[in-house]
Amino acid sequence: MTRATVSGSFHRHMAAIQEAVGNLRALGVDVLSPSDTTVVAADRDFLFVASDKLRSRKMVEDRHLEAVRNSDFLWVVCPDGYTGASTSGEILAAAVLKVPVFSTSKALDITIGDYVETVPGVRTAIENAIHARRNKPQVGHALIDPASLSETAAEVDALRPYLTADIGDGRLDAERRFLEVRRHVAGRFGFPVVQ
């Protein structure tokens, strides 16, 4: 199954983002993020959607970036060309990760626009992504699918209630606990320890 992440300004383009997510799903694409675009809360200018189980801006963005990493392509919604800082960062992250980026609109920022392939529609993006798909393993990630943790070690399994906001404050407690477990697991398996 083709996997995609959708990026765009929630403040300026939410209706178009919701339409894009629906169109991708109708074409059989697994939309990793955002999976439910219903706005449920805000932290100053940052909007949380229903699929954001935690109310931590950093954890939500970390999850979104992991979704980009695990996607066949990033679909950018910018009907008026506006990408904003967060979307621009996500576009650049996709470029670094070698994840193709598509949109039906050109980005106003000419540098950011160089990283986005303008296509006539979502079907073309899907075809191009399938054609360009790299032979990379699809790696699961706790921020994308907390339920997948059930097959991991006990300390990682204990992280699930924090990631689903069943315990803790839904923000800093989850970030701290996630980093603790990440450091521990990374050290045990010889991966670089993330600070």
Q: Residue 173's pLDDT is what? A: 81
Q: What is the CATH number of domain 3-132?
A: 3.40.50.450
Q: Which token pair is 184?
A: 């521990």
Give pLDDT tens digits along the chain (195 positions): 899 999 998 878 889 999 999 999 999 999 998 877 666 666 777 766 667 667 677 878 888 899 999 999 999 999 999 999 999 999 999 999 999 999 999 999 999 999 999 999 999 999 999 888 754 545 556 666 666 555 456 777 777 788 888 888 877 888 888 888 777 666 555 555 555
Q: E strands, the chain, where?
A: 3-8, 30-33, 39-43, 46-49, 73-77, 101-103, 117-118
Instruction: Give the chain's largest Cα–Cα span.
Output: 48
**CA 139 – CA 190 distance, rounded (Å):** 17
Please tell me whether the overall predicted TM-score, pTM, comes out greater than 0.85 for this model.
no
Q: Which residues contact 18 (CB under 8 A, 6 or more apart)?
A: 37
**CA 26 – CA 103 distance, rounded (Å):** 18
Beta-bridge mates of residue 77: 8
**CA 193 – CA 119 distance, rounded (Å):** 39
**CA 21 – CA 107 distance, rounded (Å):** 19
Query: Which percentage of the chain shows pLDDT scores above 90?
Result: 46
